[in-house]
């Protein structure tokens, strides 16, 4: 489990397709602290298991199912990624309950400054909209963001700090992003069926 509070911006060093899985190598520093092979790290919101550690980063395997549901298959060396280690029983719980299980991919339709903050709009697949409510949250590339508006696109107001410490600083209109909705909304839906 994660909180959606990004700990570090990492950088893709290599992405190699192959059997039995694709292999992603990420340059990192802070998330290496206390991390061991077998631990979970969220890479742009995708929960992945560390399979190798290096002095300057780590490697994870990426299965076909993950490649189909996320943007990871599009990653090339040099791309910046949001990183977060899994929470522990002694971790502070800022952010929201994020599993690292991506529901689908959205597209950035607007990203612009407005006053002291930035406005981000993301087109979300129709099938996910029923799980999104104003003042709820949506994880976008692993960043837990509070929903400011739910029209045809989902709107977020981003404070300068969040933009500065995440890959939002590199965001572009038209970019595809990993989306995770609140799992509690999915459980409620399953219970009332």
Q: Which of 58, 85, 112 is the last residue of a domain?
A: 85
- CATH, residue 158: 2.40.30.20
| Domain boundary, last residue among 85, 117, 148 | 85
Please indicate, yes or no, if residue 3 is contained in any of the structural domains.
Answer: no
Does residue 126 fall inside a structural domain?
A: yes
pLDDT at 179: 98
Domain that holds residue 117: 104-192
Stretch 75-98: mean pLDDT, rounded?
Answer: 87
Q: What residues have CB less than 8 Å from 126, skipping those under 6 apart?
A: none
Here the tokens at position 51 are 């399979």
- Confidence band for 43, pLDDT divided at 50, 70 and 90: very high
Burial class (CB in 10 A: 0-12, 13-18, 19+), 151: exposed
Same domain, 68 and 132: no
pLDDT value at residue 51: 97
- The answer to whether the CB of 78 falls within 8 A of the CB of 13 is no
pLDDT over 90 (residue 4): yes
Calpha distance 84→87 (Å, rounded): 9
3-class DSSP assignment, residue 182: coil
Same domain? For 137 and 185 the reply is yes
pLDDT value of residue 184:
85
Specify the higher pLDDT residue, 1 or 62. Answer: 62
- Domain-located, residue 51: yes
Establish if 74 belongs to a structural domain.
yes
Give residue 152's pLDDT band: very low, low, confident or very high (50, 70, 90).
Answer: confident
Q: Which of 44-53, 91-100, 172-181 has the lowest mean pLDDT?
A: 91-100
- Is the pLDDT reported for residue 96 higher than 90? no
Average pLDDT of the residues in 84-107:
87
Rounded distance between C-alpha atoms, residue 120 and residue 111, angstroms: 5
For residues 46-71, average pLDDT: 97
Asked if residues 177 and 108 have their Cβ atoms less than 8 Å apart, the reply is yes
With a cut of 90, say whether residue 62 has pLDDT above it.
yes
Residues 111, 187, single domain; the answer is yes
Confirm whether 92 is domain-assigned. no
Are 112 and 176 in a shared domain?
yes
Query: What pTM was computed for the model?
Result: 0.94
Instruction: Kindly state whether residue 34 falls inside one of the protein's structural domains.
Output: yes
What is the per-residue pLDDT for 70?
98
Number of domains, the chain = 2
**pLDDT of 145 above 80:** yes
Q: What are the tokens at 28?
A: 């990192």
Domain finish residue from 55, 85, 115: 85
pLDDT of 151 higher than 90: no
């Amino acid at each position: 489990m994660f909180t959606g509070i990004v700990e570090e911006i990492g950088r893709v060093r290599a992405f190699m397709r192959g059997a039995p899985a694709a292999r992603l190598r990420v340059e990192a520093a802070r998330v290496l602290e206390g991390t061991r092979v077998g631990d979970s790290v969220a890479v742009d919101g995708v929960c992945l298991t560390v399979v190798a550690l290096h002095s300057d980063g780590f490697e994870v395997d990426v299965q076909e199912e993950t490649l189909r549901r996320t943007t990871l298959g599009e990653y090339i060396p040099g791309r910046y990624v949001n990183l977060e280690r899994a929470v522990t029983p002694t971790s502070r719980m800022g952010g929201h309950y994020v599993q690292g299980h991506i529901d689908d991919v959205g597209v950035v339709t607007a990203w612009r400054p407005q006053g002291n903050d930035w406005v981000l709009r993301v087109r979300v697949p129709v099938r996910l909209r029923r799980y999104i409510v104003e003042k709820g949250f949506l994880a976008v590339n692993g960043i837990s963001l509070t929903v400011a508006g739910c029209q045809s696109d989902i709107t977020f107001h981003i404070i300068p700090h969040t933009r500065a410490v995440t890959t939002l600083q590199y965001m572009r209109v038209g970019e595809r992003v990993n989306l995770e909705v609140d799992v509690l909304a999915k459980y409620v839906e399953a219970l009332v069926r």
